[in-house]
Each structure stands twice: as structure tokens, then as C-alpha cells.
């Protein structure tokens, strides 16, 4: 098809722009007819769809040790699932272009001239607007989701108000958690000062933590309960959680704190109220509140 060209105009970016430039939609349709377009679109869709079972698989492995054992962990898992699935298309298109570049265009060998391409898709307003709107919408959705979830999780962990000051809340069980190189100590101030290297908590009762450190910065991470908070020397940080599933779960240090950081771990036992009472008696404590 012959194309007519206008003589170059001074100060114009594209002096050789044809006057019979096709409509943006036609240019997109034309782009799809190129040999590399279909495989890239196909791989993008395939990877985007694969992200859904992958998200389920990640949750499956996370839940092998009993999670979620609190509503906080429930929200965290939901957020991880949504973020994995929603980021799928972007991961998909990036990997598709990468894979096609490696195995598609990579087939051109030796003196073979590169494939004759059509005009670049850049400068196509429709494509630009579509691409920017789609990615902005995805990002905007994730920002709104993230802010909403953060507010919910803060509420579940009692935010800046202690658990017993929350409306309709039971009296919380107060626990002083202290980190030191390289052990955790849990003190129950309302139980005549019971202290334990493992955490034992009753199910369905709000727990309120006063967290601190005796030496360097540690981080109290009660994995399956979704609790993670810095333990700073000379300061007390607060958080809370209501365990809602019986079982034994992991507690780790989540802040590099020295040579044996990796071994700074213990367990939390979520038990019934009766079992908790007898554990307190066993530890020589007496319920004072
Ligand atoms: Cu530590």
C-alpha cells in the first residue's frame, strides 16, 4: 500500500509521519497481528491465571503449622492472597516479554537479519491510556485495600487503647514479654508474677502485651497469631491479639540481634480457660484479678 508523506516541518518530532496515519484502534489491532504479540498476550494470561493456584499454595504451606490462629492472621492471609492475585497481570506481562525475548527472538542466529518489524507501538495514545489506566486502577485498588486492612488489624490488636478500654471488651490478660540475647521471657503480672520461657494463653481472651528488651533490638513474632512487634531496650511497645484456635504455635525473633538470633525461638500454647488456670497453679501463681 503506497503511503504519501508530507515534507518535514521544522520543529516537528515526527517529520515523516504519514498523513493517512491509521486510527489508534487499528494500530492496536495491527499490533496484535504481529508474530510476537499473540505468544506474549497468551503467556501473560497464562501466568496471571497461574498466580491464583500459586496464592492458594502459599496459604496452604503457611497453614501447615496451624495458621490462622487469630483474626489478625486471617486478615494478613487474605491480604497476601489478594496482593498475589492482583499483581498477577503485571508479573505476567513482565515474565511474558522476558520469556519471549529469551526463547522467541533469541532464535535469530548468526548473519540472519533481525525480523522486519512494523512501526513501534509508542506514541499510540489509546495503548498508552489503556496501559496507564489499567495499572493505576490495580495499584489504587491495592492502596485502598492496604489502608483498610491496616485499620482492621490495628483495631484487632487494640491500637493505642488497651484491650480493657475497648468497647464491649473482656478484661485482657496482660503479659510482659522481654527479649534478651537470645531468649524470650513472659511474665504474667496479674498471676502473682508467674514467669515462663514459653507463652501459655487461654483461647478467646484478649491478650495485651508490654514488650521490651534487655539489650539490643529484638522483635516478638508470634507467627501463626500474626503478632510482630519490635522489642526495644529502654522502651515499652504494646500490641494485642485474641487467639481463636487451640494448639501450639511458633514464636521467633524477627530482628537480627546477634550470633544466635536464628535460635531465639520458643512456642505459644493456646489452651482452654480451665487448662490455663491449672497451668497458672502449676507455675506457683495465683489469679489475682
Ligand atoms: Cu532477637
Same domain? 89 vs 139: yes
Q: Quick check: 67 pLDDT over 70?
A: yes
**Grid cell at residue 153:** 488489624
CA of 14 to the centre of ligand 1 (A): 61
What percentage of the chain exceeds 90 in pLDDT?
A: 57
CA of 184 to the centre of ligand 1 (A): 8
Distance separating alpha carbons of residues 76 and 87, to the nearest angstrom: 16
Query: Quick one: average pLDDT of 149-159?
Result: 87
Whole-number pLDDT of residue 1: 45
CA of 169 to the centre of ligand 1 (A): 32
pLDDT tier, 10 (very low <50, low <70, confident <90, very high otherwise): low
Q: Quick check: 130 pLDDT over 90?
A: no
Same domain? 168 vs 131: no
Q: What are the backbone angles phi and psi of residue 272, rounded to the nearest 5°?
A: -75, 165
pLDDT tier, 109 (very low <50, low <70, confident <90, very high otherwise): low
Q: Quick check: 158 pLDDT over 90?
A: no
Judge whether 173 lies within some domain.
yes
Number of compact structural domains in the chain: 2
CA of 78 to the centre of ligand 1 (A): 28
Other C-beta atoms closer than 10 Å to the C-beta of 199 total 24
Tell me which of 137 and 107 has the higher pLDDT.
Answer: 137
pLDDT tier, 21 (very low <50, low <70, confident <90, very high otherwise): low
Same domain? 278 vs 182: yes
Same domain? 197 vs 126: no
CA of 266 to the centre of ligand 1 (A): 12
Same domain? 84 vs 147: yes
pLDDT tens for residues 231-273?
Answer: 999 999 999 999 999 999 999 999 999 999 999 999 999 999 9
Same domain? 199 vs 272: yes
What is the pairing mode between strands 247-253 and 265-271? antiparallel
CA of 232 to the centre of ligand 1 (A): 10
Provide the mean pLDDT of the chain.
85
Contact between 70 and 249 (Cβ < 8 Å): no
CA of 213 to the centre of ligand 1 (A): 9
pLDDT tens for residues 164-175?
Answer: 777 777 788 999
Judge whether 230 lies within some domain.
yes
Whole-number pLDDT of residue 19: 57
CA of 264 to the centre of ligand 1 (A): 6
CA of 248 to the centre of ligand 1 (A): 21
Tell which of 133, 156, 179 closes a domain. Answer: 156
CA of 219 to the centre of ligand 1 (A): 6
Judge whether 79 lies within some domain.
yes
CATH number where 227 lies: 2.60.40.420
CA of 238 to the centre of ligand 1 (A): 17
pLDDT tier, 288 (very low <50, low <70, confident <90, very high otherwise): low
Tracing cell 506457683 back to the chain, one arrives at 284
Q: Give Cα 19 distance to the centre of its chain.
A: 50
pLDDT tier, 106 (very low <50, low <70, confident <90, very high otherwise): low
Judge whether 270 lies within some domain.
yes
Same domain? 150 vs 228: no
Q: Quick check: 226 pLDDT over 60?
A: yes
CA of 259 to the centre of ligand 1 (A): 9
Judge whether 113 lies within some domain.
no
Same domain? 260 vs 168: yes
Same domain? 59 vs 180: no
CA of 261 to the centre of ligand 1 (A): 5
Judge whether 55 lies within some domain.
yes
What is the pairing mode between strands 199-202 and 265-271? parallel
Contact between 95 and 47 (Cβ < 8 Å): yes
Query: Quick one: average pLDDT of 74-96?
Result: 92
CA of 148 to the centre of ligand 1 (A): 30
Distance separating alpha carbons of residues 249 and 62, to the nearest angstrom: 12
Tell me which of 105 and 226 has the higher pLDDT.
Answer: 226
Judge whether 111 lies within some domain.
no
Could you tell me which residues come within 8 angstroms of residue 17 by beta carbon, excluding any fewer than 6 positions away?
6
Judge whether 95 lies within some domain.
yes
Same domain? 139 vs 170: no
Distance separating alpha carbons of residues 21 and 30, to the nearest angstrom: 12
CA of 246 to the centre of ligand 1 (A): 26
Q: Quick check: 145 pLDDT over 80?
A: yes
Same domain? 183 vs 151: no
Cis peptide before 182 (omega within 30 of 0): yes
Q: Quick check: 278 pLDDT over 90?
A: yes
Same domain? 170 vs 132: no
Q: By residue range, what is the domain housing residue 34?
A: 24-106+121-156
CA of 22 to the centre of ligand 1 (A): 64
Query: Quick one: average pLDDT of 57-83?
Result: 93
Whole-number pLDDT of residue 122: 65
Whole-number pLDDT of residue 54: 93
Amino acid at each position: 500500500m503506497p503511503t504519501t508523506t508530507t515534507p518535514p516541518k521544522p520543529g516537528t518530532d515526527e517529520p515523516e509521519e504519514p498523513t493517512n496515519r491509521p486510527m489508534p484502534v487499528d494500530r492496536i489491532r495491527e499490533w496484535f497481528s504481529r508474530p510476537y504479540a499473540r505468544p506474549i498476550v497468551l503467556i501473560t494470561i497464562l501466568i496471571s491465571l497461574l498466580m491464583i493456584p500459586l496464592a492458594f499454595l502459599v496459604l496452604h504451606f503457611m497453614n501447615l503449622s496451624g495458621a490462622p490462629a487469630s483474626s489478625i492472621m486471617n486478615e494478613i492471609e487474605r491480604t497476601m492472597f489478594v496482593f498475589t492475585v492482583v499483581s498477577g497481570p503485571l508479573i505476567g506481562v513482565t515474565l511474558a516479554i522476558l520469556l519471549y525475548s529469551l526463547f522467541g527472538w533469541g532464535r535469530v542466529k548468526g548473519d540472519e537479519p533481525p525480523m522486519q518489524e512494523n512501526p513501534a507501538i509508542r506514541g499510540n495514545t489509546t495503548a498508552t491510556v489503556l496501559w496507564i489506566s489499567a495499572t493505576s486502577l490495580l495499584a489504587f485498588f491495592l492502596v485502598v485495600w492496604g489502608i483498610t486492612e491496616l485499620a482492621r488489624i490495628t483495631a484487632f490488636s487494640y491500637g493505642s487503647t488497651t484491650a480493657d478500654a475497648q468497647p464491649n471488651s473482656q478484661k485482657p490478660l496482660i503479659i510482659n514479654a522481654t527479649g534478651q540475647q537470645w531468649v524470650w521471657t513472659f511474665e504474667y503480672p496479674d498471676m502473682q508474677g508467674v514467669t515462663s520461657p514459653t507463652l501459655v494463653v487461654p483461647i478467646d481472651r484478649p491478650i495485651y502485651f508490654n514488650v521490651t528488651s534487655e539489650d539490643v533490638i529484638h522483635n516478638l513474632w508470634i507467627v501463626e497469631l500474626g503478632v510482630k512487634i519490635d522489642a526495644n531496650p529502654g522502651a515499652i511497645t504494646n500490641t494485642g491479639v485474641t487467639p481463636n484456635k487451640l494448639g501450639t504455635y511458633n514464636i521467633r525473633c524477627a530482628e537480627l540481634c546477634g550470633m544466635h538470633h536464628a535460635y531465639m525461638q520458643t512456642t505459644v500454647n493456646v489452651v482452654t480457660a480451665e487448662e490455663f488456670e491449672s497451668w497458672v497453679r502449676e507455675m506457683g501463681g495465683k489469679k489475682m484479678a
